[in-house]
């Protein structure tokens, strides 16, 4: 069970209720009462577990769990007395069930007395503004937004409904959709890395664009998204950005992309939809990355990538080619002189 210092558990739910919430097909006693989610190996009779990996079939066979979310192909392996919630997507169903038990409560609406909110800012209904948060002139927040402690919303920023901004995050020059989540320490909207430099000195190029963030986006802790230089920097709906990611000015990212921690995207590069980028992967500037492309961890992408292409390495090459090169080099370099 999750530590009650930090988490409040809802429920209990019957197996039938959870089958409905997760879209699973119920097999067994729909009235079985379930009080929590738990892993296969520690679950007890009033817990719901899930299995989506054959590696854990042994744990499934021995589980004491009261109910289990499971793929139809594996259902026959479950203990006879377990209630089964059968679904082709057990992990997704688990997420929905866990959300039922551990719904993130919107905090009590209100504005902490130590928050600084400009008189010209507009806040929608039921917003919560925590201690030390600062909201600038003409900023607009939708309903049920939550601005965390010491977060800063710059002048003119516009946030949709149910946006959550973590502690100590900074926003400026941005328009943000609904249900967006900005994690602690993220920096959004500062001016990009634009200047003309020569031996006479450095001249800054005014950065005149914005950051536009679609619905349901997440921006991880301490990640940075620079605003556009003239065009906007754009993050499409449903895109998930992990911690310590850098997004340069004028970058456009499509819908439901996944950028794992410490990725870097240089200025003016465009990613299509459903692009996945592994940790520390990076892109040169002004590239086009097709929808559905998969970029391996630590890849250094220096050319356009076709839709659906899978690459890795630096400079990035197709995955098969990369591992062929790795294997060949290993074999050749280990041969003795004279072989």
**Catalytic residue list:** 249
Instruction: Pick the binder of a copy of itself from 160, 177, 220, 272 (CB under 8 A).
Output: 220
CA distance 292 to 276: 7
**Is 272 a binder of a copy of itself (CB under 8 A)?**
no
**Is 143 a binder of a copy of itself (CB under 8 A)?**
no
Bridge partners (DSSP) of residue 225 are 188, 247
**Is 116 a binder of a copy of itself (CB under 8 A)?**
yes
Nearest distance in Å: CB 111, a copy of itself: 13
Of the two residues 115 and 145, which places its CB atom closer to a copy of itself in the complex? 115
Nearest distance in Å: CB 151, a copy of itself: 8
Is the Cβ–Cβ distance between 190 and 171 less than 8 Å? no
Instruction: Pick the binder of a copy of itself from 156, 160, 272, 290 (CB under 8 A).
Output: 156
**Is 54 a binder of a copy of itself (CB under 8 A)?**
no
Both structure tokens of 136: 């600038």
**Is 167 a binder of a copy of itself (CB under 8 A)?**
yes
Using the CB atoms, write b or e for 79-105: b if 16+ within 10 Å.
Answer: eeebbbbbbeebeebbebbbebbbeee
Nearest distance in Å: CB 61, a copy of itself: 21
**Is 87 a binder of a copy of itself (CB under 8 A)?**
no
CA distance 45 to 236: 43
Instruction: Looking at residues 177 to 216 of the shown chain, list those that interact with a copy of itself (rule: CB under 8 A).
Output: 183-185, 187, 190, 193, 195-199, 201-206, 208-210, 216
Is the Cβ–Cβ distance between 134 and 114 less than 8 Å? no
Is the Cβ–Cβ distance between 67 and 12 less than 8 Å? no
**Is 20 a binder of a copy of itself (CB under 8 A)?**
no
**Is 330 a binder of a copy of itself (CB under 8 A)?**
yes
φ/ψ of 322, rounded to 5, equals -60, -50
Nearest distance in Å: CB 317, a copy of itself: 7
C-alpha 253: how far from chain center: 14
**Is 162 a binder of a copy of itself (CB under 8 A)?**
no
Nearest distance in Å: CB 78, a copy of itself: 20
Of the two residues 28 and 293, which places its CB atom closer to a copy of itself in the complex? 293
Is the Cβ–Cβ distance between 215 and 234 less than 8 Å? no
Closest CA relative to residue 181, chosen from 132, 241, 232: 241
Instruction: Looking at residues 225 to 254 of the shown chain, list those that interact with a copy of itself (rule: CB under 8 A).
Output: 226, 230, 238, 240, 242-244, 246, 248
Binding residues for a copy of itself, total number by CB under 8 A: 103
Of the two residues 127 and 152, which places its CB atom closer to a copy of itself in the complex? 152
Nearest distance in Å: CB 29, a copy of itself: 25
Of the two residues 29 and 64, which places its CB atom closer to a copy of itself in the complex? 64
Instruction: Pick the binder of a copy of itself from 76, 80, 332, 339 (CB under 8 A).
Output: 332
Instruction: Looking at residues 310 to 329 of the shown chain, list those that interact with a copy of itself (rule: CB under 8 A).
Output: 314-315, 317, 321, 324-326, 328-329
**Is 105 a binder of a copy of itself (CB under 8 A)?**
no
């Amino acid at each position: 069970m999750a530590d009650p210092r930090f988490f409040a558990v809802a429920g209990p739910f019957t197996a039938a209720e959870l089958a409905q919430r997760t879209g699973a097909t119920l097999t067994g006693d729909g009235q079985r009462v379930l009080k929590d989610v738990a892993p296969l190996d520690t679950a007890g009779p009033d817990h719901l577990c899930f299995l989506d990996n054959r590696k854990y079939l042994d744990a499934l066979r021995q589980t004491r769990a009261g109910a289990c979310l499971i793929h139809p192909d594996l259902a026959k392996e479950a203990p006879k007395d377990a209630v089964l919630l059968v679904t082709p997507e057990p992990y997704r169903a688990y997420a929905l069930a866990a959300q039922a038990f551990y719904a993130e409560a919107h905090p009590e609406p209100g504005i902490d007395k130590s928050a600084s909110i400009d008189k010209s800012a507009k806040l929608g209904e039921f917003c919560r503004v925590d201690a030390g948060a600062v909201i600038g002139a003409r900023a607009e927040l939708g309903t049920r937004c939550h601005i965390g402690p010491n977060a800063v919303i710059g002048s003119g920023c516009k946030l949709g409904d149910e946006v959550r901004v973590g502690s100590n995050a900074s926003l400026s020059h941005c328009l943000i959709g609904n249900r967006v989540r900005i994690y602690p320490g993220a920096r959004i909207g500062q001016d990009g890395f634009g200047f003309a430099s020569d031996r006479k000195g450095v001249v800054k190029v005014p950065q005149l664009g914005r950051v536009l963030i679609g619905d349901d986006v997440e921006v991880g802790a301490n990640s940075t998204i620079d605003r556009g230089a003239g065009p906007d920097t754009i993050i499409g709906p449903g895109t998930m950005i992990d911690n310590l990611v850098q997004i340069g000015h004028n970058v456009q990212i499509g819908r439901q992309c996944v950028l794992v921690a410490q990725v870097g995207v240089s200025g003016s590069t465009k990613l299509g939809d459903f692009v996945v980028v592994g940790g520390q992967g990076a892109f040169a500037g002004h590239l086009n990355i097709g929808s559905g492309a998969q970029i391996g961890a630590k890849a250094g992408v220096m050319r356009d990538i076709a839709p659906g292409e899978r690459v890795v390495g630096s400079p990035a090459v197709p995955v098969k080619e990369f591992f062929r090169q790795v294997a060949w080099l290993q074999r050749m370099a280990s041969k003795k002189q004279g072989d």
